[in-house]
Structure 1
Amino acid sequence: MSPARVSVAALDPVTGEGVRRGDGVFVTASVVKADILAALLLRARDTGRAVTAAEWSRAAAMIGHSDNDAASVLWRTIGSAAGLDAANARIGLTETVAGDGGYWGLTRTTAPDRLVLLRELLGRDGEAGRGLLDQEARDSARRLMAQVVPAQAWGVPVVADGSAWAVKNGWMPRDATGLWVVHSVGRVTSGGRDVLLAVLSDGHATMAEGVVRVEAAARTAVAALRSAARGGRGRAVGGEARRAGDDG
C-alpha cells in the first residue's frame, strides 16, 4: 500500500467519551455535502419556513447518490462559501474553511470538526450540542444519510450492529498527484452504544485502497472507544476536548 495519512475521531454523544488518533487538515471531497445539508436546514429555520420540495429532492440526491449537480445548486442556495462558513461557525466548527471559487469539494476540515457537525446534524434530544436544529430536522438528516445507495454504504457502516447507521462518504483523486482522498463520517450503533465517527484520509494509490484503510481505522477507533469506556479513560472529542492529544 502507498504512504497515506489517516485521522480518526469517535465520540459517544451521550456520555461525551471519545478517542482521536492522527491529526491533520484534509480537503473534504463530498463529505462537505453534510455541511451543505446542515446549512440548508439552518437557513430554512432562520427564515421561518420549511425546506421546499425541490430543495429536499436535491438534498436526497446530494446525500443518497452524492450527486454533484444537486450539491452545486444547494451550495448556491445557502450562499456559497460565505454561507457555508457562516453556518459552520454557528455550529461551532473552528477548523473548517469553505473552498474558494465554487469548489466546494476543496473545503478544508479536520476529524474533530466533523464530530462537531455530526453532533448538531445527527444528534438526539438529551445529547450535548448547540441545539440550533430541532429534532425534526435532525431526524430528516439522519434518514437521508441512512438511505445512501448500496455502492456508497462503506466506511462507517462497517462497524454498525444491524442496520443502525447514517453515513456520508467522500472520495476523489487529487489532480496534482493522482492520489486519492477517501473519507467516511456518520453515526452508528455499535456494541450497544451510539457512536459518532469521522475518518479522514488521503495519499492512497486507489480508491479501493483508501476504503480498506478507512474501514480499518473505523474498527480500531470504535474498539478503542469501548476499551476507554470500560477503563474509564475516555476523552471527549470536539468542543473543549479538541485540545486533547491523541488517545493511546
Structure 2
Amino acid sequence: CAVASDRQYDAASIAKVMIMEGVLRRAEGLRRGLTRWELANVRPMITRSDNASAVRLWTDLGRGYLSRFLSRAGTSRTVLGPKGYFGLTRTTADDQMRLLDVLTDARSFLKTRGYGLRLLTEVRGDQRWGVPSGMPRGLTAHVKNGWLPRATHGWRVHSVGAFTGPARTYRIVVLTHDNPTMAYGVRTIERIAQAVHRGLARGRGLPPTPDPATTVSERSDGSAPYGPLPGWDEPEQGATP
C-alpha cells in the first residue's frame, strides 16, 4: 500500500543506504571484497550516520557510477544532490522501496546484500527510532533514518526499514517534511509504523515506544546546510532539477 509514493523529498541521511549499496556493488563488479579503506568508511556511515565517511565514499564512487547504480536498481525519480551534498539527493518512497529491495530480495543483483542488512541492524540505539516502532516480536529490524531541517519545508524526517524473520519479510518507508520539529516528525512516523505493524501482525504488535519528545534530539543529521547553496536554485516541491 502507498500514499503519494512518487512525491520527491530531500533524502537527508537515508541517502547513505544508496551509497553503501553502490560501494558493495562496485566491489562485486571488480570481483573483490571491500578494501580496508571502504570498510573503515562504510561502517561508521551506516551505524552512526557519519557524514565525513559518507562524503568520502560519495566522492570516490562518483556521480556517474551512482547514476548507473540507481538505474540498475530500477529507481525512476531519484536525483543525486549537487556537488558533495548527498543529503540533497531528491528521492521518493517508491524509489526507497526499490533500494530496500536490493537488500531483501533473494534474487537481487547484489550478492553481498547480507553484509548491508547486518550493518542496518547495528545502527546505534539513539538512531533506531521510526519504522521499527511497534514491530512484532520475532522480527529483526534493519533501519536507517534521516533528520534534516532547512529554511524551506522545515524538518525533513524520514525512516526506512526492512523487517526480516523466519516466516516473512516486509519493508516500510515513511518520508516527511514540513515538520515543525524533529520530534513531531518522529512521532508521526512512529504512529504510522505502529498501525502498519499492527495490521500485518493481526494486532500482535509491540506497545508503542516512549514519547519521542523526551527521547529525540533536535539536532540535524548534518547532511546538508540549513540555508540555500551558493549558485544552486532549490527545486520546487515535486520538481526534478
Same structural fold, with TM-score higher than 0.5 when normalized by the shorter chain:
yes
Question: What do the CA deviations read for 1:168-227 (whole angstroms, capped 9, x no partner)?
Answer: 1001001345x1000000111489632111110001111111100111122233445568
- Aligned runs of 1:209-220 on 2, under 5 Å? 209-220=184-195
Greater RCO, CA 8 A, separation 6+: 1
Return the alpha-carbon distance in structure 1 between the equivalents of residues 196 and 136 of structure 2. Answer: 15
DSSP 3-state at the match of 2:2:
strand
What residue is the counterpart of 2:109 in the other structure?
132
What is residue 94 of structure 1 aligned with on the other side?
Answer: 76
AA aligned to 1:133 is L
Secondary structure of 2:179 counterpart: coil
Among all aligned residue pairs of Structure 1 and Structure 2, give the percentage whose two residues are the same amino acid. 37
Aligned to 1:115: 97
- Name the counterpart of 1:60: 43
Q: Distance in 2 between matches of 1:194 and 1:171?
A: 26
- Counterparts of 2:151 and 2:30, CA distance in 1: 39
Matched, 1:22 2:4: yes
Could you tell me which amino acid in structure 2 is paired with residue 132 of structure 1? Answer: F
Report the TM-score, using the length of structure 2 for normalisation: 0.77
Which has the larger displacement, 88-97 or 156-165? 156-165
* 1:190 to 1:20, Cα distance in 2 relative to 1, 3 A: farther
Structure 2 CA distance for partners of 1:142 and 1:191, relative to 1, 3 Å: closer
Query: Residue in 2 aligned with 1:238?
Result: none
Q: Distance in 2 between matches of 1:224 and 1:20?
A: 14
8 Å contact kept, 1:159–1:190: no
TM-score by length of 1: 0.75
- The AA in structure 2 aligned to 1:180 is W
Amino acid at match of 1:166: H
Residue 35 (structure 2) pairs with residue 35 (structure 1): no
Moved more, 190-199 or 145-154: 190-199
Q: 1:187 matched to which residue of 2? A: 162
| Correspondence for 1:201 | 176
Q: 1:217 to 1:48 in 2, by over 3 A?
A: same
- What displacement does 1:159 show? 3.3
Structure 1 residue corresponding to 2:130, chosen from 138, 151, 155:
155
* Whole-angstrom distance in 1 between the partners of 2:183 and 2:3: 22
Deviation at 1:56, TM superposition (A): 1.4
User: Any stretches of 5+ residues in structure 1 without a counterpart?
Assistant: 1-18, 228-248
Which of 80, 85, 93 is the equivalent residue of 2:67?
85
Query: In the superposition, relative to structure 1, how do residues 226 and 220 fare at CA in structure 2: closer, same or farther (>3 Å)?
Result: same
Inter-CA distance 158–42: structure 2 relative to 1 (3 Å threshold): same
> 1:233 aligns to what?
none
Contact 2:134-2:198 within 8 A present in 1 as well: no
Q: Is the 8 A contact 2:135 2:197 kept in 1?
A: no
Residue deviations 1:110-151, cap 9 Å, x none? 10111111011233x3xxx5x2111xx111001100000100
Amino acid at match of 2:23: L
Give the corresponding residue for 1:3. none
Residue of structure 2 aligned with 1:44, choices 24, 27, 30: 27
